[in-house]
Amino acid sequence: MSEITEPSAAGGFDDARDATPAAGLDWGALWQLLRLGLIGFGVLAVILWLLAQWNEGGAGNAVDAATGTVTLTLSQEPPQMDSTRGTDQVSFRILGHVMEGLLRYDANNRLVGGVADRWEGTEMQWTFHLREEARWHTGEPITAHDFVFAWRKVVDPANASQYAFIMFGIENAEAINAGDMPLESLGVRAIDERTLEVRLARPVPYFGKLTAFATYNPINEAFYESRGGRYAADAEDMLYNGPFVISSWVHGASLRLEKNPNYWDAGRIKLNAIDHAYITTDTNAVLNLFKDGKVALTSLNAENLDDALQQRWRINRFADGSVYFMELNHAPDRLTSNYHLRKALQAVNDPAELVYKVIKLPGNLPGRSLFPVWLKGVNGYFRQEYPAPEQVPDEALGRRHLAQALDELGLDEPPTLVMLTGDSPSANKQSEYYQNLFKQKLGIDIKIDRQIFKQRLAKMTAGDFDIVMAGWGPDYDDPMTFGDLFASWNENNRGRYVNPALDEAVEIARSSSDARTRMEAFARVQEIIREDAVILVNYELGSVYVANPRVKGLVRRAVGTDPDYTNAWIEEA
Amino acid sequence: MLAYTIKRLLQGVITVWFIATATFFGMHAVPGDPLAADKEVPPEIWANLQARYGLDKPVPEQYVIYLGNMLKGDFGISYTQQNREVNDIIAEHFKVSATLGILAIVFAAFGGILWGALTALYRNRAPDIVIVFLVILGISVPSFVFAALGQLGVVNINNALGFTLFPVAGWGTVQHMIVPSMVLGLGTMAFLTRLMRSSMLEIANSDFIRTARSKGLPATRVFRKHQLRNAILPVVTVLGPSIAAITTGGFVVEMVFAIPGLGRYFVQAVQQLDYTVIMGTTVFYGAFLVFMVILVDLVYGLIDPRVRLE
């Protein structure tokens, strides 16, 4: 579409028009255009109306006291609502509202009865007594068989559950999952309709806490089979036993929860509905919705924190529970398998600078240990009973270690190391900070290998890195959820660290039911990881968010359903 | 005409097959495993997962199985939305993308024709200069900027008014559709405005306009019956490909306005290596684009008999 050439001399008429258009043409043509515009508007209106018939939706305000409804967002559609196969936070968050296990966490994070009202455990055996009033949302009673069926499903090799490992404390679970034993040999049985007996493979002092985990939820066998492989695919493809039920689920668009009248403790639940009316990963969109009074909560990140501060909102923070660190590759053919090179990197690492000058988001804690501060120890908190020293940078020490490392490795100058990292803005910022830090303090060149999620995982699994920016989130409320991470047999030990002393400490913590013995073993793990520079701990993640001030009783937690609205209510305006 | 149509359709089928094949092998050449998750799983569970998705077979065999299923219209089950069939995902989300796309194209077409005609009318004078400047802005600024600005604008307008004139995000009602479709259509509207402007100016200098004027037709009639009508033709020609481009290119707008469209799946599937969704959406969109182009060719032949179909 080229610009047309100027009219020729012969086109005198046009020349004249261009210079001084006739007034009649001007207004007439404008009128024509206006008419065209009106037609366009009309067509648009008709099409809008037609299309509106074709789509459905619409949402209310952030809080509606009259109907007891809270409106929220989800970062994504729940990928897997089948509790035996779910692995992700969004699915677990919804499951935490619509399902209930044998035990659950209350508003003060204490473990209390869920479907079970009484339970007793010895070292190798636990018995749960189901409460008589526990019902599915259809009104049918929940029986011990529902648990036996679901738990067998979890360890069934054909089901290929990625969370099967969380059942491995139960007798024969590991062998069944490997396909070596029949499903029926799982150490769980229904003594009668309302009594469940669990035999363990080894002492699991925290087994009660595990039963609050979504993977341990009950599933009704007859219902499961009746869905013909579509269990949990849609709202009507599930039986609910939690405080809420999914009343409508428009995939990718919205997911609405409504109070479950058949929940045994329905009197405790004050909200009538939780409407997840928007599904988007765009944090700015969520912030805008919050500003507009359409959603009751928005998380903040480094990009939109300033905006939130300007609004003078009350900023809340809580420990997310996860720990972020640089995992070093210990494979013998890697330079990072050299003790002094690792110690050199560790010596110049400055988690405080990272947290306060680079990440600059309130709520994060400079990392000291693989074990985060909120884990419980013998009586109080683990980190109070077994403190980890602060990581203070020491350049001179780093250079001494580096000199020794170069000597041992037979190198003339500091090497180049590959740092594998994700592709998010914060991962960029952090990896570039470390690239600069290691170059300045040690003269070590860092080659940043930036990869999208699946490729990064593939490279981590293949051990294709010297340093990888990694993190670990807890599954259950016991130091073991972090403690066995760098045991030689752990699949998630991507740096392939092997140390019999660490393995032994983990084994002691695994096989003992004495709290002090276990915590001392974890303290040894903590010390080995620091002393041998297995990983370089960066920070403990904190989350920052703003919530509608009229929503009360919201519970945020590191382990379990988060955010938890089951105890929430709306304050009258 | 019939032979031509059949020939074009056959070519279309081959094109779609080629798209499917290239995508399939390209996708498998990308490093990474679609089943990889944050937590590593024991080898036995891994093997079971692979078997469930048929990834334990060699790639050529997977390809044959895949083509067979595709012919039956079965795109399989998503890797990330593990309980949903790709067919369902396309069916549920394409209608949203299509809604957004149709609105955007209507908006862009009428806007483009109006502004284009206006600039031609006021050639080299103030309205022309202002609109052409805005057009250049519209073509060069990426849509995520417009989307973010548009949303912020809506928030500010709502705050100033004290009630919700337009929803900030979400989908379902007419109000939800207006702002996102305008944002999505903006780039195309700018492009069409330019096209319309040059088309109008070209026709203004043609012989039949001069003839019409010299035989004494009122200026208004010349403008409407002769200039505008003829100038619209090239705009209509590019509408077909534009519809496909807009419908498939709404990813950013869908993200910002939390719209449950297919564009989101199209892009995220690649990031997450969701094999079945990558194949399903690519083949679907490919077929859609091919079909639109064929349709425009055929319709163009009907509208303008000078175009020979052979």
Cβ distance B256 to A157 less than 8 Å, yes or no, reads no
Neighbours of A529 (CB within 10 A): 25
Partner-chain residue, chosen from A29, A55, A159, that has the shortest CB–CB distance to B121: A29
pLDDT at B184 over 70: yes
Residue B245 lies in a domain: yes
Cβ distance A43 to B110 less than 8 Å, yes or no, reads yes
pLDDT at residue A304, as a whole number? 84
Residue B220 lies in a domain: yes
Residue B228 lies in a domain: yes
Q: Name, in order, each residue with C-beta under 8 angstroms of A81's C-beta and a sequence gap of 6 or more.
A: A91, A94, A95, A232, A233, A238, B83
Query: Of B19, B36, B14, whose CA–CA distance to B280 is shortest?
Result: B19
DSSP A184: G
pLDDT in tens, A290-333: 998 999 999 998 888 888 888 889 999 888 899 999 999 999 99
pLDDT at A9 over 90: no
Give contacts of A251 with chain B, Cβ < 8 Å. Answer: 81, 84, 88-89, 92-93, 260
Residue B194 or residue B309, greater confidence: B194
Encoded tokens for B135: 């057009």
Q: Is A247 exposed, middle or buried (0-12, 13-18, 19+ CB in 10 A)?
A: middle
Residue A121, min C-alpha distance to chain B (Å): 29
Q: Is B193 on the interface with A (CB under 8 A)?
A: no
Gap between the Cα atoms of B282 and B16, Å rounded: 9
In a mutagenesis test of the A interface, which of B41, B174, B215 is the best target, namely the one with the most A β-carbons within 10 Å? B41
Omega prior to A563 cis, within 30 of 0: yes
pLDDT at B76 over 70: yes
Q: What is the mean pLDDT of residues B132-156?
A: 90
pLDDT at residue B308, as a whole number? 59
Gap between the Cα atoms of A243 and A564, Å rounded: 11
Q: Is B257 on the interface with A (CB under 8 A)?
A: yes
Cβ within 8 Å of A, B 113-152:
113-114, 117-118, 121, 123-124, 148, 151-152
Backbone angles phi, psi at A382, to 5 degrees: -55, -45
Encoded tokens for A235: 């709202």
Gap between the Cα atoms of A451 and A458, Å rounded: 10
For the stretch A390-404, what's the b/e string if a residue is b when 16 or more beta carbons lie within 10 angstroms of its beta carbon? ebebbeeebbebbeb
Q: Tell me the one-letter amino acid at A283.
A: T
Query: Of A350, A88, A75, A366, whose CA–CA distance to A215 is shortest?
Result: A88
Give contacts of A459 with chain B, Cβ < 8 Å. Answer: 31
CATH number at residue B254: 1.10.3720.10
Gap between the Cα atoms of B31 and B273, Å rounded: 9
pLDDT at residue A299, as a whole number? 92
Residue B2, min C-alpha distance to chain A (Å): 32
Neighbours of A101 (CB within 10 A): 25
Q: Are A480 and A487 spatial neighbours (Cβ–Cβ below 8 Å)?
A: no
Residue B123, min C-alpha distance to chain A (Å): 8
pLDDT at residue A21, as a whole number? 45
Q: Is A183 exposed, middle or buried (0-12, 13-18, 19+ CB in 10 A)?
A: middle
Cβ distance A49 to B174 less than 8 Å, yes or no, reads yes
How large is the ipTM?
Answer: 0.84
Gap between the Cα atoms of B76 and B86, Å rounded: 6
Q: How confident is the model at residue A232 (pLDDT cuts 50, 70, 90)?
A: very high
pLDDT at residue A55, as a whole number? 58
pLDDT at A32 over 80: no
Q: Is B178 on the interface with A (CB under 8 A)?
A: yes
Q: Lowest-confidence range among A354-363, A508-517, B160-169? A: B160-169
Residue B121 lies in a domain: yes
Gap between the Cα atoms of A324 and A471, Å rounded: 4
pLDDT at A429 over 80: yes
Q: What percent of chain B has pLDDT over 90?
A: 29
Residue B56 lies in a domain: no
Backbone angles phi, psi at A415, to 5 degrees: -80, 175
Q: What is the mean pLDDT of residues A255-263?
A: 96
pLDDT at residue A25, as a whole number? 56
pLDDT at residue B15, as a whole number? 94
- DSSP string computed for A304-343: THHHHHHTTPPPEEEEEEEEEEEEEP--TTSGGGSHHHHH
pLDDT in tens, A170-210: 999 999 998 899 999 999 999 999 999 999 999 999 999 99
A529 sits in which H/E element: helix A515-531
C-alpha distance from residue B110 to each of A82, A413, B113, B146, B186 (Å): 48, 67, 5, 19, 11
Query: Of A230, A231, A202, whose CA–CA distance to A219 is shortest?
Result: A231
Residue B53 lies in a domain: no
pLDDT at B136 over 50: yes
Q: Is A46 on the interface with B (CB under 8 A)?
A: no
pLDDT at residue A10, as a whole number? 35
Q: Are A522 and A509 spatial neighbours (Cβ–Cβ below 8 Å)?
A: yes
pLDDT in tens, A156-179: 988 888 899 999 999 999 999 988
Residue B121, min C-alpha distance to chain A (Å): 8
**What's the mean per-residue pLDDT of chain B?**
86
Q: Is B87 on the interface with A (CB under 8 A)?
A: no
Q: Are A436 and A464 spatial neighbours (Cβ–Cβ below 8 Å)?
A: no
Gap between the Cα atoms of A487 and A464, Å rounded: 20
Q: Are A1 and B135 spatial neighbours (Cβ–Cβ below 8 Å)?
A: no
Mean pLDDT comparison of A219-223, B93-97, B100-104, highest-scoring range: A219-223
Q: Are B284 and B94 spatial neighbours (Cβ–Cβ below 8 Å)?
A: yes
pLDDT at residue A23, as a whole number? 42
Query: Of B228, B266, B276, whose CA–CA distance to B112 is shortest?
Result: B228
pLDDT in tens, B254-304: 988 989 999 888 888 888 889 999 999 999 988 988 888 888 777 777 766
Encoded tokens for B20: 């499917």
Residue B34 lies in a domain: no
Q: Strand (E) positions, A431-566?
A: 445-450, 467-472, 535-547, 551-552
Characterise B255 by phi-psi region: left (phi > 0), alpha (psi -120 to 50), beta (else). Answer: alpha
**What's the mean per-residue pLDDT of chain A?**
90
SS3 B214: helix
Overall domain count for chain B: 1
Q: What is the mean pLDDT of residues A510-537?
A: 95
pLDDT at B116 over 80: yes
Residue B232, min C-alpha distance to chain A (Å): 12
Q: Supply the range of the domain harboring residue B105.
A: 86-308
DSSP B310: -
Q: What percent of chain A has pLDDT over 90?
A: 74
Q: Is A541 exposed, middle or buried (0-12, 13-18, 19+ CB in 10 A)?
A: buried
In a mutagenesis test of the A interface, which of B38, B191, B226, B262 is the best target, namely the one with the most A β-carbons within 10 Å? B38
Gap between the Cα atoms of A249 and A536, Å rounded: 43
A347 sits in which H/E element: helix A339-348
Q: Lowest-confidence range among A224-238, A361-375, B209-223? A: B209-223
Q: Tell me the one-letter amino acid at A50.
A: L
Residue B57 lies in a domain: no
Helices A515-531 & A500-511 angle (0-180, nearest 10):
160
Q: How confident is the model at residue A360 (pLDDT cuts 50, 70, 90)?
A: confident
Q: Are A337 and A499 spatial neighbours (Cβ–Cβ below 8 Å)?
A: no
pLDDT at residue A3, as a whole number? 38
Gap between the Cα atoms of A540 and A381, Å rounded: 16
pLDDT at A396 over 90: yes
Q: Tell me the one-letter amino acid at B230.
A: N
Greatest alpha-carbon span in chain B: 88
Place of tokens 């509207």: B189
DSSP B170: -
Gap between the Cα atoms of B175 and A342, Å rounded: 58
CA neighbours within 13 Å on the CB side: how many for A225?
Answer: 4
Place of tokens 């659950």: A104
Residue count of chain A: 573
Characterise A23 by phi-psi region: left (phi > 0), alpha (psi -120 to 50), beta (else). Answer: alpha
Q: What is the mean pLDDT of residues A263-286?
A: 93
Q: What percent of chain A has pLDDT over 70?
A: 94
Partner-chain residue, chosen from A36, A157, A494, that has the shortest CB–CB distance to B114: A36
C-alpha distance from residue A560 to each of A71, A153, A299, A352, B202 (Å): 21, 21, 18, 28, 69
Q: How confident is the model at residue A386 (pLDDT cuts 50, 70, 90)?
A: very high
DSSP A547: E
Cβ distance B44 to A157 less than 8 Å, yes or no, reads yes
Q: Are B84 and A249 spatial neighbours (Cβ–Cβ below 8 Å)?
A: no
Q: Name, in order, each residue with C-beta under 8 angstroms of A24's C-beta and a sequence gap of 6 or more.
A: B218, B219, B220
pLDDT at residue A452, as a whole number? 87
Give contacts of A481 with chain B, Cβ < 8 Å. Answer: none
Query: Of B231, B223, B37, B274, whose CA–CA distance to A456 is shortest?
Result: B37
Gap between the Cα atoms of B182 and B196, Å rounded: 19
